[in-house]
Amino acid sequence: QVQLVESGGGLVQAGGSLRLSCAVSGRIFSIDAISWYRQSPGKQRDLIATITSDGTTSTAYSVKGRFAISRDDAKNTVYLQMNSLKPEDTAVYYCRADRKVVEFGVTGYWGQGTQVTVSS
């Protein structure tokens, strides 16, 4: 079992910055990658950024140059640094852990999400 807890969301003005945190616990050795997703009401959940177990990162084109994913191995925490925020970035941001191997149909785990609101 893997547990994910997001924090760091809040209200910020356009052009401002936030840093989201995803604290990971449980069977960390079973994780292949940690990703950040976001979802607005009535819209699909979109992949924003990913970091793999070997440290490789990737970022969606829509946030490239503004958002960056990183990790602190000592704290078992993954971060999403968000700069130059826009109202279009308003969403619930979720952390997801993908398993190296699917077990009993379980492909990964979701956190509960943290709300980010960017005012005009």
User: Encoding tokens for residue 34?
Assistant: 């940690």
The mean of the pLDDT values for the chain is 96
Residue in 49, 53, 50, 47 with CA at minimum distance from that of residue 30: 53
Q: Rounded to 5 degrees, what are φ and ψ at 30?
A: -85, -5
Output the pLDDT for position 1.
87
Residues 22-32: tens digit of each pLDDT: 999 999 999 99
User: CA-CA distances (angstroms) from residue 5 to 60, 86, 96?
Assistant: 22, 24, 10
| The pLDDT of residue 93 is above 90 | yes
